[in-house]
Amino acid sequence: MNALPPLLFLALSATLPAAGALAAGALAAEAWPTPNPDNAQVTELGRYRISYASALEPIEINRIHIWVAQVMDADGNPVEGAAISITGGMPDHDHGLPTAPRATAYLGEGRYLIEGMKFHMGGAWEVVLNVKSGTGDDALSIPLDL
Ligand SMILES: [Cu+2]
């Protein structure tokens, strides 16, 4: 009696993070930014192809916003169940990101919701998406000129 039926458990797993994101003030599902796979970039070791979209386009200084990253494997299949961590900063200034962005929900089709993105000054930034999955560890460094 204490185990959820598998289908119900899957449904809860899929909806709870999204509900949390909405409570945190994120955009409704229909408004999530949509990465364009045609713009995908290959990770350092060639294990993944990642495209991303920012809810702020262009990105504005000092505004917390969300990104969506779409992660495909080298064959173009969506990568599910990956652990994504976000690092980065301004290499020229020797400081990191002012926030600790996190991947908070899986949106399907290899897409991951990233909350807490913020840049607090103009200049050359670097955002690093670190991906761990059964396919292996790899990272993509995204240069941004803000
Ligand atoms: Cu700086």
| Ligand 1 mean position, distance from CA 76 (Å) | 35
CA-to-CA distance for 127 and 96, rounded, in angstroms? 9
| Ligand 1 mean position, distance from CA 35 (Å) | 27
Per DSSP, 78 falls in state: B
| Ligand 1 mean position, distance from CA 101 (Å) | 17
Which ranges of the chain would DSSP assign to H, the alpha helix?
6-23
pLDDT given for residue 29 in this prediction = 57
**93-130 confidence digits (pLDDT tens):** 999 999 999 999 999 999 999 999 999 999 999 999 99
What's the number of CA atoms in the CB half-sphere (13 Å) around residue 106? 16
Q: At 30, is the pLDDT very low, low, confident or very high (cuts 50, 70, 90)?
A: low
In the predicted model, is pLDDT for residue 23 greater than 50? no
CA-to-CA distance for 121 and 60, rounded, in angstroms? 9
Q: What domains are defined for the chain?
A: 6-145 (2.60.40.10)
**82-103 confidence digits (pLDDT tens):** 999 999 999 999 999 999 999 9
